Structure 1
């Protein structure tokens, strides 16, 4: 019986960090910038993961450089649906690339040419 009580006490202490504050599960603001699989801190980024773009509607400045990170195993593209405003070409799974936003403000729809269900809108302002 004493052994069971000691085990419960040990588990209760192990689950506490001692400051009685709830543990945070959100990442720190700098964690994304330090990971090799993400965009540098001074660059806007689009991530392709689970066959979706994130963010789906990135907001950028005219002519801004945009980093694209593919976290899926399949290749993807970020391709403007109208004209030739931008196209990353094929980005293999686990790789990254960049493109430059158009110099004219506006909204530019984009798609992955391999997976037409992957869509988004680049907002240049």
Structure 2
């Protein structure tokens, strides 16, 4: 009977360690730092983003359609075509107001205000 109890205790301990290891793997990684613009439902969200100079802004396409981020004044490089879950980033060094749009869907517009 002792052997059966010992085997049960060992099995429970093993199951607990496996469960803890699985929980550790399921923990999401830390989010990528920096201001973010989500592209969703054919819109940039937030539509206007205020950031301090030196900020790296990250656009992420959450739509099922591709998008291309284009500076209206040519003040930063165009993104490549962004498929679902693709990201593009640019570091804004100089203060100012930067408007942009999607070249595929020009009704999509946004603004980055760098302070």
Normalization by structure 2: what TM-score?
0.67
Correspondence 1:78 to 2:65: no
Q: Tell me which of 84, 102, 106 is aligned to 1:112.
A: 102
Q: Could you tell me whether the CA contact under 8 Å between 2:37 and 2:60 is conserved in 1?
A: yes
Question: Which residue matches 1:99?
Answer: 90
Normalization by structure 1: what TM-score?
0.62
Aligned ranges for residues 27-42 of structure 1 at < 5 Å? 40=32, 42=33
Q: Could you tell me whether the CA contact under 8 Å between 2:98 and 2:113 is conserved in 1?
A: yes
Question: Which residue matches 2:59?
Answer: 68
Secondary structure of residue in 2 paired with 1:51? coil
Aligned ranges for residues 11-26 of structure 1 at < 5 Å? none
Larger radius of gyration: 2
User: Higher relative CO (CA 8 A, sep ≥ 6), structure 1 or 2?
Assistant: 2
RMSD in angstroms over aligned alpha carbons? 2.0
**Which structure has greater helix proportion?**
2
Q: Which runs of 5+ in 2 are unaligned?
A: 1-27
Post-superposition Cα deviations, 1:5-64, rounded to whole Å, max 9, x if no partner, equal xxxxxxxxxxxxxxxxxxxxxxxxxxxxx589xx62x21000000000000101112231
Aligned pair count reads: 88
Partners of 1:87 and 1:59 in 2: CA distance: 20
